[in-house]
């Protein structure tokens, strides 16, 4: 590519980015520092949108609804993301959100006496903590809280809360294992590493106690079925 064409192309890209920032500041919300806005992002003018310093939004992302969306510092949203917010969606600092991820804080009513499209939306806030990673095409549904440092596998559908440091996957998403997090990863500002480690250990112990209980119950059920078959 000739040098003049390269320079012209670079200037055009800078001008386009500046125009997107001016449009964002004038019409949509506030930002606490420099951010990165790719081309093709769609905003709903009814929405209150706040971006932390260093946040980056991928191309062709979509914001819908009249709710309040807060995206933390240095958080990255991949291309073709979708956030449908009627009440509130909060994404913490230092998160990675893959391409085609969908976050929705509302559901349609399903009463059989009226068409679904005619029923009011029921909204519950969604909160995603600091340092989380949401894999490509993951979906987070209304009312879900995802703890700090959690990982959501590609294509997962998150219908219930996710503990801090958990790795979840599947439809619906289930906990596969827990990461070993220190106090800083858990967002425990001002507490020592010893306390953070103790909290981590307690959370892991509680979680695996639940798993062990379920496994024992399943084994007991299998023994009962086997006894009935033998009889």
Among the listed residues 9, 108, 207, 213, the single catalytic one is 108
Q: Determine contact, residues 60/77, Cβ cutoff 8 Å.
A: no
Query: Rounded to whole angstroms, how far apart are CA atoms 57 and 69?
Result: 13
Spatial neighbors of 29 by CB under 8 A, at least 6 apart, are: 47, 48, 49, 50, 51
Tokens representing 166 are 């958990």
Number of other CB atoms surrounding residue 199 within 10 Å: 16
Query: Rounded to whole angstroms, how far apart are CA atoms 190 and 29?
Result: 31
Catalytic (active site) residue 108: yes
Residue ranges of alpha helices (H) inside 112-192 are none
Phi/psi for 8 (5° steps) reads: -60, -40
Question: 27 in helix, strand or coil?
Answer: helix
Tokens representing 152 are 């959501």
Spatial neighbors of 10 by CB under 8 A, at least 6 apart, are: none
* Helix, strand, coil tally for the chain in percent (to 5): 30, 25, 45
Residues labelled as active-site residues? 108
């Amino acid at each position: 590519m000739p040098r003049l064409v390269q320079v012209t192309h670079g200037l055009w890209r800078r001008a386009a980015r500046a125009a997107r920032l001016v449009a964002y500041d004038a019409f949509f919300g506030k930002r606490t520092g420099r951010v990165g806005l790719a081309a093709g992002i769609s905003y709903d003018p009814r929405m209150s949108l706040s971006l932390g310093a260093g946040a980056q939004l991928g191309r062709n992302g979509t914001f819908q609804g009249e709710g309040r969306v807060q995206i933390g510092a240095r958080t990255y949203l991949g291309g073709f993301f979708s956030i449908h917010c009627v009440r509130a969606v909060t994404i913490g600092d230092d998160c990675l959100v893959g391409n085609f991820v969908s976050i929705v804080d509302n559901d349609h009513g399903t009463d059989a006496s009226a068409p679904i499209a005619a029923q009011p939306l029921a909204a519950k806030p969604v909160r995603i903590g600091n340092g989380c990673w949401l894999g490509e095409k993951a979906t987070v549904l209304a009312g879900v809280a995802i703890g700090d440092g959690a990982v959501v596998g590609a294509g997962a559908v998150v219908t219930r809360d996710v503990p801090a440091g958990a790795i979840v996957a599947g439809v619906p998403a289930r906990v596969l294992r827990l990461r070993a997090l220190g106090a800083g990863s858990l967002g425990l500002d001002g507490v020592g590493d010893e306390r953070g480690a103790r909290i981590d250990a307690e959370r892991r112990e509680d979680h695996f106690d639940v798993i062990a209980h379920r496994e024992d119950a399943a084994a007991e059920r299998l023994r009962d079925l086997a006894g009935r078959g033998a009889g």
